[in-house]
Copies of this chain bind each other. A is one copy, B any other.
Amino acid sequence: MQYRMIESEANAKYKRWKKLFESARFIKKEGATLAEGAHLIITMRQKGVKPEALLLREGGVSDEVAEIIEDFANDGVPCYVLANALYDKISPVEHGAGIMAEIKIMANELPHKERCDVLYLDGVQDPGNVGTLIRTAVAAGVSTIAASRESASLWSPKALRAAMGAHFSARLYENVEPEDLDAAFDAVCLAADARGGSDIYETADWEKTATVWMMGAEGPGLSEKALAVADRRLYIPIESGCESLNVGAAAAVCLFEQKRRRIAFKSLK
């Protein structure tokens, strides 16, 4: 197996990776991003996703990962070894695993009136929250995720890291405005809204059709534009004195309540 060593920040490939690490806009422009960590690399192999390149930290990697690198290298994936200081500057975690992959992002065209469950992110700002939301949705059986223009990139290295490989089991759509949802999906739009509507547990039958669960930004919650297209507003009953849940926790409650009801309905049949 052949490695190419990169020791200078002036290296053209390195400069491009650094821009991918720093700029969501550049990710979009290039249609490429960085996925860090042994877990993501292992998931990629399982899902048949072939990276454009592997980036290794000079310090070395675990045996488990070495085997996968070997596999990918035999498959023609170029491998680069980066000086520690260079690697750490483009790693989304402080004590990273010492391996990352450059991958193509999968840009999807919105469907037309497709009947499927969707999670919609309306201006969610934090890349870690975005990743956790994708992970939770896929685990709850909702593998279609759409996000508004104001949301953080679904494909940032931090979001990939937090989603723990769920990206490779999902269909992701970016730059989707609330008013696009109706044409794209044959599903009721449910607004998760701490400010009002009806109690998610006391309200019957919202899970009986396909749903688009809409989750708002940390702090302000759902935008007026999103509330305007909602078929229903539902809230999670929380203790008085607390104002709201973290968006990741709220989505987990809503999407697993949906899953619970669907399971209960199936077992009745």
CA A169 to CA B241, docked complex, whole Å: 8
CA A227 to CA B243, docked complex, whole Å: 33
A248 on the interface (CB 8 Å rule)?
yes
Which of A3-11, A14-22, A136-144 binds B?
A136-144
Copies in the complex: 2
Chain B residues with CB under 8 Å of A242's CB are 135, 138-139, 166, 169
A259 on the interface (CB 8 Å rule)?
yes
CA A263 to CA B239, docked complex, whole Å: 12
- How far, in Å, is A134 (CB) from chain B's closest CB? 11
**Which residues of chain A from 236 to 253 have a CB within 8 Å of any chain B CB?**
236-239, 241-246, 248-253
In contact, A239 and B140 (Cβ under 8 angstroms): yes
In contact, A136 and B241 (Cβ under 8 angstroms): no
Chain B residues with CB under 8 Å of A251's CB are 249
In contact, B237 and A135 (Cβ under 8 angstroms): no
CA A263 to CA B245, docked complex, whole Å: 19
A132 on the interface (CB 8 Å rule)?
yes
Binary contact track A121-140/B, C-beta < 8 Å → 1, others 0: 00000001000100110111
In contact, A260 and B263 (Cβ under 8 angstroms): no
In contact, B140 and A238 (Cβ under 8 angstroms): yes
CA A259 to CA B237, docked complex, whole Å: 9
Assign chain A's interface to a size class.
Answer: 35 or more
**Which residues of chain A from 32 to 82 have a CB within 8 Å of any chain B CB?**
none
A257 on the interface (CB 8 Å rule)?
yes
CA A248 to CA B241, docked complex, whole Å: 20
Chain B residues with CB under 8 Å of A24's CB are none
Q: A166-B242, A169-B241, A242-B169 are in contact. Are A236 and B248 (CB under 8 A)?
A: no
- Minimal Cβ-Cβ distance residue in B for A261: B201
Q: Which of A140, A248, A253, A257 has the most CB of B within 10 A?
A: A253
Knowing that A132-B248, A143-B239, A248-B248 touch, tell me 11 more A-B residue pairs with CB under 8 angstroms. Answer: A128-B128, A136-B246, A138-B242, A139-B239, A139-B245, A164-B243, A164-B244, A164-B246, A249-B249, A249-B251, A252-B252
Show the binding face of A for B, using Cβ within 8 Å. Answer: 128, 132, 135-136, 138-141, 143, 162, 164, 166, 169, 201, 236-239, 241-246, 248-253, 256-257, 259-260, 263-264
Query: 4 nearest interchain CB pairs?
Result: A249-B252, A139-B238, A252-B252, A139-B242
